[in-house]
Amino acid sequence: MAERKKIAAVISTFYPASHADVVVTKFVKGFPTDEGLIPPQVDIVSMYMDQIDERDIGLKLAEENDIPVYQSIPQALCQGGKELAVDGVLSIGEHGDYAHNEKGQKLYPRRHFFEQIAGVMAAAGRAVPVFNDKHLSYCWEDAKWMYDRARELDIPFMAGSSIPLFWRDPWLEHELEAEIDAAVVISYGDIEAYGYHGLEGLQEMVERRKGGEVGIAAVQCLEGAAVWEALDGELRELAEAGVEQVDKAEGAEGALEELIDEPALFLLEYDDGLKGALLQPNSYGGKIRGWSYAGRVGGEIQATGFHSCGPPYPHFSYLSLNVHEMFLTGEAQYPVERTLLISGALDALMESRHRGNVRVETPHLNVAYRAAEKAPIRPTGPRPIGASTEPLD
């Protein structure tokens, strides 16, 4: 039998339901799915934690599973030695006590993590696959540096969140080369942290359009009454189709203005003329409790809801299974350019907001790529049927 792959986990902080918990714990204990618990075929052999939260569960998980916890990222990748000694890296730079800047961006150390990881590989003269949780960085310059450094060192690189791997009801996946004219995603929550999720849900759908992805020409962030003034015509029609599919609080109903308080609107103008938008309440606990998508394809509106599940958060199982596959094959399951483009778009949108909700030209976001032809690992049903923790037969 082939030797099992050795994986290092580089983590910002590790407490219940943190991203470290919903990803790294699954790589240790197994991936709960609708079909049962899928055991990992790789081993977490080392961990680095940037911060130890008062609710920490990472140290206990490491102790119970004989996983050494190191004081630096190079030590974790070298398992305490001097040479690269792992076959893959999970970089989970989400959650923790980090500052926000004047734009409202949380300054997670994702570039710092990746610089350390890439440095060890550069010194070793060989690369192993790396997964970066969520967007590459809060700022375009760091995100682009990470992307360029990965290409320079031939690092198989994946990034992003679980949104593209959610259950979809009704099922919708655009055919490659689809004639998509406009698209809207309904989201909710913090304008930056959850705005990223909504943008990724949008991008995963529209990157399949005719000609592939070509980049984003301009963006604008609007808030308050200006949202409803801008959301008219086709975009409003799509938003109304999307809100029919989104998960809501029990008994919630009414027009868009009644369902979405504290509204925020992201407008995206793509280089090929596609119009995209993200509409969300900039708050948690309101009437909107999930995500949905609506696009106009060949004159027809197509819409779907993106649905997740509570503990043990099996939507992260499907994200993790795609990362797991990259560790086994050495090939990314979908293009990191998606995350690069959306990282830059989110940065520009936060700049728009900081400057008084102005339109921001984005010629630097001329990121062209093609959607993967191979389908990722995802749920087969329309809705979660439970977070099964029973082993597969």
Q: Are 336 and 158 in contact (CB under 8 A)?
A: yes
| pLDDT at position 393 | 45
Q: Are 81 and 45 in contact (CB under 8 A)?
A: no
Q: Could you give the CA distance from residue 206 to residue 218 in angstroms, rounded to a whole number?
A: 16
Q: What is the DSSP letter of 363?
A: G
Does residue 176 register a pLDDT over 80?
A: yes
Look-up of token digits 């809060």: 138
Q: Which residue has the higher pLDDT, 386 or 83?
A: 83
Average pLDDT of the segment spanning 224-246: 96
Q: What is the pTM of this model?
A: 0.96
Least confidently predicted of 5-9, 246-250, 333-337, 389-393:
389-393
Instruction: Please write the tens of the pLDDT for every residue from 294-313.
Output: 999 999 999 999 999 999 99
Q: Are 297 and 229 in contact (CB under 8 A)?
A: no
Q: Could you give the CA distance from residue 99 to residue 61 in angstroms, rounded to a whole number?
A: 27
Burial class (CB in 10 A: 0-12, 13-18, 19+), 133: buried
| pLDDT at position 7 | 99
Inter-helix orientation angle 315-329/19-29, to 10°: 60
Q: Which residues contact 54 (CB under 8 A, 6 or more apart)?
A: none
Q: Could you give the CA distance from residue 165 to residue 307 in angstroms, rounded to a whole number?
A: 9
Q: Which residues contact 317 (CB under 8 A, 6 or more apart)?
A: 26, 31, 32, 33, 38
| pLDDT at position 380 | 86
| pLDDT at position 226 | 97
| pLDDT at position 59 | 98
| pLDDT at position 389 | 53
Does residue 385 register a pLDDT over 50?
A: yes
Domains belonging to the chain, first-starting first, are 5-163+313-333 (3.40.50.720), 167-307 (3.30.360)
For residue 391, name the pLDDT band (cuts at 50, 70, 90).
low
Q: Which residues contact 290 (CB under 8 A, 6 or more apart)?
A: 188, 246, 247, 248, 305, 306, 307, 308
Instruction: Please write the tens of the pLDDT for every residue from 22-53.
Output: 999 999 999 999 999 999 999 999 999 999 99
Nearest to 261 by CA among 303, 223, 233: 223
Does residue 289 register a pLDDT over 70?
A: yes
For residue 388, name the pLDDT band (cuts at 50, 70, 90).
low
Q: Could you give the CA distance from residue 366 to residue 243 in angstroms, rounded to a whole number?
A: 30
Least confidently predicted of 205-209, 242-246, 309-313:
309-313
